[in-house]
A and B are shown apart, each in its own frame.
Chain A
Amino acid sequence: MDVTVAVHKEGVLADVDAGRKPAAIPGLGRALRAEEMVINMGPQHPSTHGVLRLELIVDGEIVVDVVPHIGYLHRCFEKHCEHMSNYQQVVPYVDRLDYVAAMSNEFGYAIAVEKLLKIQVPERVEYIRVIMAEFSRIVSHLIALGTYGLDMGAFTPFLYCMRDREHVLDIIEETCGARLLYNYMWVGGLSHDVKPNFQDKTRAFCKYFRPKIAELNALLSYNKIFIERTAGVGILPPEVAINYGASGPVLRGSGVKWDLRKNDPYSIYNRFAFEIPVGKGIKGEVGDCWDRYMVRVHEMEQSVNIIEQAVEKLPAGDVQSAIPKRIRPEAGEVYVRTETPKGELGFYVVSDGTQSPYRVKVRPPCFVNLSTVPAICRGSMIADVVAILGSIDIVLGEIDR
């Protein structure tokens, strides 16, 4: 089979040196004009949130096009899954997809395999999973907001967010021993039960955290300079967002009220009362960076609501009673999607009846959200590319798997 693949020589327009007509740049589709310059926001850059290479084609300060190059963190997750000897062995790998909010990834995978096995987990497991997933959401958004401030030049909110994050990580470390990558939500249950002081500590955290959100708002969100940098910048119209498959705060920031926890419920989310924050274009236009940022801030508040409700009703039980000794699902396939802090994370698990999965495909939210970046960035300035990328909130572990 003869497959021709365009090879892009790093940085050098090879044909120009030879005096011939310059070659088309892959991704751009045409050669450069005289006033345009290719500049790399390279794989190593303080603001690209991981190893992402953004090839900017600029005309002075105006960005004509953006060609993202990913794959620098590709760790062959899907190939590994096919060679696992056990479905449970996949869980630590799944952690490392979105390594910032590891619990959310485990949640989706555990639900998918439990659907294949047709088992029901105890109530206590469901409640703890919801609490941990919402903790994950808070933790991920704190990093997103902190690093967004850092990109804008506000160095202090980042450290405040890290400080608040430490409180959550302390609770999780007491529960399962790990701060970042947990291996906690196993298929059929959890690896450890929560400690006896879990409920008190969680309530104390909720009481501590609400004023901190107000502090973050006072320091960063309503700061005039921050608003000037982000409001009206990087507008993503809602139809474009849906067509590109965007999800999570990116979609909600464009005014589309769509949250899988309410629109396609899973686990026990239908038992909790919470709202879905949506971008309204208060400071600029609907769908700009400020809207996406504020959706995340409000989502943190709603997560605290959910945690408070869940921790009141936490039932007693055994978290490990439903963990199957041998996982051998019947041949079949399932697609399960959950609402992670970044958006819609999908697991497509295909089983062929043996003990190891036939195919595990991850549909990462950041992968799809990142594909909207060229559409948003055309015509903005270089400084705006940083603002837009920060508002999309990507984690390369998920994009590259």
Chain B
Amino acid sequence: MIPQEIYDTLKGTFGEAILESKLDGVLDPWITIAPERVKDIARFLRDDERMQFDALMLLTGMDYTKGRLGVVYHLHSMKWNHKIVLKTVVAAEQPHVQSVEAIWKTANWHEREAFDMYGVLFDGHPDLRRILMPDDWEGFPLRKDYQVPEFYNGMKVPY
């Protein structure tokens, strides 16, 4: 299926949860979706006959500055060999996104990393803890406004 068809099918099924899209003139066409319907849309994309996106290639957090965080999903279908990119945008004060860990187990560690680096909270994730940083680190390193803390447990951080 070409990206336009994927967009039309999604728009038809989910209506106002599909926000924007950019399907032409870009290397990887993307569709922006609402953060509170992510899981339903993901399940539809995995299970529907014509879509069958059985592989989540990449799940990453993004910092879109001006107080907005985002999550980007790169999906791929091994069966039909088509790809699509989904994006969601949330506010930094309330960064709740539904977790897709139950749909693709790949997302388990990827969401932990997005939480660790950006502070995006994934609702429904069974074990949301930091993965790369130490467990008691404060702050979310990959945010654009991140300040490196001066001390960590009594040790000086920047040297």
Contacts and interface: CB of A to CB of B under 8 A. Distances in A.
A333 B58 contact: no
B81 A368 contact: no
Nearest to B63: A359
B57 A7 contact: no
Contact of B27 (A26, A333, A370): A333
Interface in B1-43: 26-28
B132 to A, nearest CB: 4
Interface residues of A, number: 44
Interface stretch (A71-79, A154-162, A300-308, A313-321): A71-79
Interface in B55-70: 55-58, 60, 62
A333 B28 contact: yes
Interface of A: 1, 3, 5-8, 26-27, 29, 70-71, 74, 76, 78-79, 115-116, 240, 242-245, 258, 263-264, 332-335, 337, 344, 346, 348, 350, 359, 361, 363, 367-368, 370-371, 375, 400-401
Contacts of B93: 1
B74 A367 contact: no
Contact of A76 (B28, B121, B136, B141): B141
B44 interface: no
Nearest to A346: B58
B42 to A, nearest CB: 13
B127 A26 contact: yes
Given A1-B93, A71-B133, A243 B85 contact: no
Contacts of A344: 57
A1 B66 CA distance: 17
B45 to A, nearest CB: 14
B104 A334 contact: no
B130 interface: yes
A334 B55 contact: no
Contacts of A335: 28, 57-58, 74, 85
Contacts of A116: 27
A74 B135 CA distance: 13
A350 B105 CA distance: 25
A359 B118 CA distance: 13
For chain B, give the interface size range.
35 or more
Interface string B113-136: 000010101000011011111111
B62 A359 contact: yes
B108 interface: yes
B3 to A, nearest CB: 14
Contacts of A71: 130-134
Nearest to B144: A82
A115 B27 CA distance: 8
Given A245-B105, A333-B28, A74 B55 contact: no
Given A7-B136, A71-B134, A79-B141, A337 B129 contact: no
B136 to A, nearest CB: 5
B58 A78 contact: no
Given A74-B133, A335-B74, A371 B105 contact: yes
Top 7 nearest A-B pairs (CB, nearest first) are A245-B106, A71-B132, A334-B27, A361-B60, A363-B58, A371-B109, A74-B132
A245 B56 contact: yes
A258 B57 CA distance: 14
Contacts of B60: 348, 359, 361, 363
Contacts of B85: 335
Contacts of B117: 78
Nearest to A74: B132
Nearest to B127: A27
A70 B131 contact: yes
A207 B92 CA distance: 59
A363 B127 contact: no
Nearest to B107: A245
30 contacts: A1-B95, A5-B136, A6-B129, A7-B135, A8-B135, A26-B129, A27-B127, A27-B129, A71-B133, A71-B134, A78-B142, A243-B106, A245-B57, A245-B105, A263-B78, A264-B81, A332-B26, A332-B27, A334-B28, A335-B58, A335-B74, A335-B85, A348-B58, A348-B72, A359-B62, A363-B58, A363-B60, A368-B106, A371-B108, A375-B105
A133 to B, nearest CB: 20
Nearest to A344: B57
A348 B131 CA distance: 20
A32 B106 CA distance: 27
A5 B72 CA distance: 24
A267 to B, nearest CB: 16
A182 to B, nearest CB: 26
Nearest to A78: B142
Nearest to A350: B62
A190 B148 CA distance: 36
Contacts of B58: 335, 346, 348, 361, 363
Nearest to A115: B27
